């Protein structure tokens, strides 16, 4: 029947990384087919398997899913990481959109020119510490539970952990004013499926370096 989900993307983080995180956290094994050259991308396009000519694309349950959020929502719902009702789902969506905005900023950093890069790094740190992290710190403080929503692990927790680790790569002490997020990070990292994903040899991808930026520019013509 369906087999393992199969991910089509480059061998880097980009927009696929949150999908890898979510599948891993849900304990779902997946395969990956890497786009290494412009020709690989062209082939996927001419094969007609990319609905809008774009990746990420994930083959899952007989579908060739595209659009990052669509894929993430499907996985979250399928593996019970999307809350128990409409309202919990609303909260999860709000939190996830926040971490998506933050991670989006970090994702584009390696692609920027030196002077904009410095400015944007400062902006990322400012946004992280004054706009985003305070929200999650307060959420954890207000209810005192281990997880962001409904006292149960959800997509929002997994996404937040991913964002925290990415932000720490930008500035290692970025959580210094957020004790509850530090505890959250320790706790969530220890969940067995996530712990496994955080170990060397997993399918988690490293931060994007200059060499990889050049490859990505060639593949996507940007």
The interface with other proteins within residues 176-205 (CB under 8 A) comprises none
Pick the binder of other proteins from 97, 118, 126, 209 (CB under 8 A): 97
Tokens representing residue 142 in the block:
């207000």
Q: Are 21 and 162 in contact (CB under 8 A)?
A: yes
Instruction: Between 131 and 141, name the residue whose CB sits nearer to other proteins.
Output: 131
Contact between residue 74 and residue 23 where contact means Cβ atoms under 8 Å apart: no
Question: Per CB under 8 A, does 90 bind other proteins?
Answer: yes
Nearer to other proteins, 157 or 194 (CB): 157
Measured distance CA(103)–CA(171) in Å, rounded: 14
Distance of CA 208 to the CA centre of its chain: 14
Determine if 154 is a binding residue for other proteins (CB under 8 A).
Answer: no
Contact 20, 30 (CB under 8 A): yes
Task: Restricting to residues 106-135, name those near other proteins by CB under 8 A.
Answer: 131-132, 135
* Residue 18 binding other proteins, by CB under 8 A: no
CB of 154 to other proteins, least distance (A): 14
The minimum distance between CB 210 and other proteins, in angstroms, equals 28
In angstroms, what is the minimal distance from the CB of 18 to other proteins?
14
* 18 vs 72: CA distance, rounded Å: 8
Please, how many CA atoms are within 13 Å of residue 187, restricted to the half-sphere of its CB?
A: 15
User: Which strand (E) or helix (H) includes residue 206?
Assistant: none
Q: Is 101 in the site for other proteins (CB under 8 A)?
A: yes
Q: How far apart are CA 10 and CA 151, in angstroms?
A: 35
Cα Rg, the chain, nearest whole Å:
18
Binding residues among 47-86 for other proteins as defined by CB under 8 A: 51-53, 61, 63, 65-70, 73-74, 77-78, 86
157 binds other proteins (CB under 8 A): no
Shortest reach from residue 97's CB to other proteins, in Å: 4
| 68 half-sphere exposure, CB direction, 13 A CA radius | 16
The contact set with other proteins (CB under 8 A) reads 51-53, 61, 63, 65-70, 73-74, 77-78, 86-87, 89-90, 93-94, 96-98, 101, 131-132, 135
């Amino acid at each position: 029947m369906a087999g393992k989900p199969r991910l089509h993307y480059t061998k880097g983080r980009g927009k696929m990384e949150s999908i890898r995180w979510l599948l891993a956290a849900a304990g779902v094994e997946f395969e990956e087919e890497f786009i290494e050259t412009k020709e690989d991308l062209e082939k996927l396009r001419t094969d007609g398997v990319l609905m809008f000519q774009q990746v990420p694309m994930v083959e899952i349950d007989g579908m060739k899913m595209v659009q990052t959020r669509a894929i993430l929502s499907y996985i979250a719902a399928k593996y019970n990481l999307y809350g128990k009702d409409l309202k919990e789902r609303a909260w999860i969506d709000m939190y996830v959109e926040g971490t998506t905005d933050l991670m989006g900023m970090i994702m584009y950093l390696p692609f920027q020119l030196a002077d904009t890069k410095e400015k944007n790094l400062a902006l990322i740190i400012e946004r992280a510490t004054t706009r985003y992290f305070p929200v999650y710190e307060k959420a954890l403080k207000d209810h005192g539970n281990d997880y962001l929503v409904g006292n149960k692990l959800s997509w929002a927790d997994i996404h937040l952990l991913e964002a925290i680790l990415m932000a720490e790569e930008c500035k290692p002490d970025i959580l210094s004013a957020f004790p509850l997020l530090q505890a959250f990070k320790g706790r969530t990292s220890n969940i067995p499926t996530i712990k496994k994903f955080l170990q060397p040899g997993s399918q988690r991808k490293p931060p994007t370096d200059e060499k990889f930026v050049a490859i990505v520019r060639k593949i996507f013509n940007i």
